[in-house]
Amino acid sequence: MPSPGREHTSPQRCGASGLTCPREGNPSKNPSRHRWSAWILPASGLLALIWFLVRVIPKPSRAAYPCQRAAFPLASGFVMWLAGTLGSIMFMRRAKHCLAQSRYVLCAVLIAVSVGSVWFALNATTEPVLRADEPTANAPIGEAKGIHPGRVVWVHDPEATDWAGPGNGHWWESSHTNQEAVDGMMSRALQGLSGQSSDAAAWDALFKYFNKMRGKGDVGYKAGEKIVVKVNYVGCIRIWNSSATPTLAEYNLRSADYMNTAPQMIIALLRQLVGKAGVNEADITVGDTLCYFPNEFYDMCHQQFPKVQYLEYLGRFGRTAARPSSVPLYWSTPAAAGAKTDYVPTCYVEAEYLINLANLKSHGDMAGVTLCAKNHYGSLVRKPARITDYYDLHKDLPFNTPGMGHYRPLVDLMGHKQLGGKTLLYMIDGLYAGKHAKESAPRKWNSPPFNGDWTSSLFVSQDPVAIDSVGFDFLWAEWDDAPHQSGTNDYLVEAALADNPPSGTFYDPDHQGHVARLASQGVYEHWNNATDKQYSRNLGTGKGIELVKRTVARN
């Protein structure tokens, strides 16, 4: 197939050498081959400029839309390229005229200006990326949470994953992800977090601690209490209009290798809840309010747990539809004034407990990372989910608001009584970590202890800030792009100091107006280094995070 922008030329043999060469011989002698290819980028820039102006001039707020953010660099680049090119030509012509008049000094100045115009155009069309300096090590802030305050348990089992990569089946298939190994990871994580020696005792300790912190006394789980498990199915976002009737085939995975929460991790958690914690299947809801529950994952889970409620956007083919309750969520920023009110899902309000089961992923150039806090972007009920009448949460992410000390909507999600206020456990599925939303498949990691293999990990904590801090550190150490974007960890600082945040925001997502300021949501800290991965409680130097690693040893 011919390459874009080139006329097809079939090869021919060049003499007796056996080498192939273009039919026309030397490409430099066939300029028609490149006649129109050189205009591809300028034409693309012109079209992007027209598109941007047509869309944004009638409604300036559209400039924040993802499509316009993508078009703007190309459009502005075209403008700067055009200005630089025309300026360079103009000054070069003037220089030629001065040279003919023997005005050599002015000629040299004009040539320099001409070259400078080209240099300016090339540099101005490169959008600057604000990058953050590495956070200060072992300087914890905030108030640690949990039976063992600030504890994050990290279980690493390379035997849980066995996938050669795209083109060799799919990572979530049972032949590539070992359910037994994942079950073992879940057990080790729960026992390590609670300090108990059995799964049943671990659940009892976790429930009792959580209820005591909520003022409900030293009581464990009671039969009939409902639990919601919030997973991350961002790779399954699909919006149908009100008159659409999707078919069962439309519930298949669109991107089969995307980094959604692993069905094996969901099954391992359901086995724990039903078999060890004593929760009735029918009292458990699992899903993502803004996405569909894909057939491939639904079939695997439903086969073992047919009475569980599988939550999704529409609620077809045995799934449960996400419905808004009458409980509002208020954004703690004046920017949300006039926007349509968000309401917490009904199933969240009816539940006594939540479990936040997120993924280990970076987040392009928008949020930097997407972990437990941002998992709650899928805890809203917006019909349709991309309607522009609601407050645009993306406006206050680091891409649009870089740097530290800004309002972050993630803190409101972490602190709302029906969201973070009900969360019993925070979990990060790190079996196959990836780059959302730039890539459609996970990546193997080079940093130790992964050393060119899948991350094969599970992180668990009772402290929402601590677990995201650890996830941030892992992503920071592995990838030198999105996690290093300026402001990526700002929400962690704001959440840790929610009672007196650097931004000065009065975080109060439960009330309209300033009524009850959020307390510290947990402890934030950056590890000492990416090799030792030690926090202040590991070092015995402070009351920050304690990272407990539980490696699975096999003969």
CA max distance for the chain: 97
242 CB-near residues (< 8 Å, 6+ apart): 384
| Strand intervals (E) in 371-456 | 423-436
Once rounded to an integer, what is the mean pLDDT over residues 463-475?
Answer: 98
The residue written with tokens 């990372």 in the block is: 369
C-alpha to C-alpha distances, 217 to 125, 208, 212, 228, 349, nearest whole angstrom: 61, 8, 5, 22, 21
Q: Tell me what the mean pLDDT of segment 380-397 comes to.
A: 80
Amino acid letter, residue 122: L
11 token code pair: 């090869």
pLDDT value of residue 23: 33
Spans of all domains in the chain: 39-124, 149-551
The reported pLDDT for the residue numbered 242 is 59
CA distance 20 to 10: 9
What is the mean predicted confidence (pLDDT) over 378-402?
Answer: 83
Is-above-0.95 flag for pTM?
no
Average pLDDT over residues 290-311: 97
d(CA 409, CA 407): 7
Rounded mean pLDDT, 341-348: 96
- For residue 383, what pLDDT is reported? 67
Cα–Cα distance measured from residue 263 to residue 275, given in angstroms and rounded to the nearest whole number: 17
How deeply is 365 buried, as exposed, middle or buried, from its count of CB atoms within 10 A (0-12, 13-18, 19+)? middle
Among the ranges 77-86, 364-373, 377-386, which has the highest mean pLDDT value? 364-373
Of 475, 325, 356, 514, residue with least CA distance to 421: 356
- What residue spans of 343-403 are helical by DSSP H? 346-350, 372-375
pLDDT score, position 120: 62
pLDDT at 2: 37
Looking at residue 350, its pLDDT comes to 98
- The number of helix segments (H) and strand segments (E) in the chain equals 13, 16
Q: Quickly state the pLDDT bin for 89 (edges 50, 70, 90).
A: confident
CA atoms within 13 A on the CB side of 59: 8
Rounded CA gap, 14 and 21, in Å? 6
Q: What is the 3-state secondary structure (H, E, C) of 202-247?
A: HHHHHHHHHHHHCCCCCCCCCCCCCEEEECCCHHHECCCCCCCCCC
438: which 2 tokens? 């730039």
529: CB partners within 8 A, 6+ apart = 137
CB 361 within 8 A of CB 375: no
**Cβ–Cβ under 8 Å, residues 153 and 192:** yes
Q: Which helix (H) or strand (E) holds 57?
A: none
Whether the link from the prior residue into 31 is cis, omega within 30° of 0, is no
- Determine the pLDDT at residue 82: 73
Q: Which residue has the tokens 């063992």?
A: 148
Nearest-5° angle of CA 16, CA 20, CA 21?
A: 110
CB atoms within 10 A of CB 423: 19
Of the pLDDT bands very low, low, confident and very high (cuts 50, 70, 90), residue 117 is: low
Percent of the chain at pLDDT exceeding 90? 69
Quick check: 482 and 435 in contact, CB under 8 A? yes
> Residue 112 contacts by C-beta under 8 Å, 6 or more apart in sequence?
none
> What would the mean pLDDT of 276-284 be, rounded to a whole number?
98
The confidence band for 386, taking pLDDT boundaries of 50, 70 and 90, is low
Strands (E), 334-441: 342-345, 353-363, 368-370, 423-436
Percent of the chain residues past pLDDT 70, beyond the cut: 81
Tokens representing residue 329 in the block: 């969520």
**DSSP class of residue 302?**
H
Strand, helix or coil for residue 294? coil
Beta carbons within 8 Å of 334's beta carbon, 6+ residues apart:
none
| Mean pLDDT for the chain overall | 86
CA-to-CA distance for 332 and 51, rounded, in angstroms? 34
DSSP annotation of 307: T
Of the candidates 133, 119, 39, 130, the one whose C-alpha atom is nearest the C-alpha of residue 87 is 119
**To which residue do tokens 């300028």 refer?**
42
Kindly state the tokens that stand for 280: 């009735």
**pLDDT value of residue 409:** 97
Parallel/antiparallel/unpaired status of strands 546-551 and 151-156: parallel
What H or E segment, with its residue span, contains residue 68?
helix 66-100
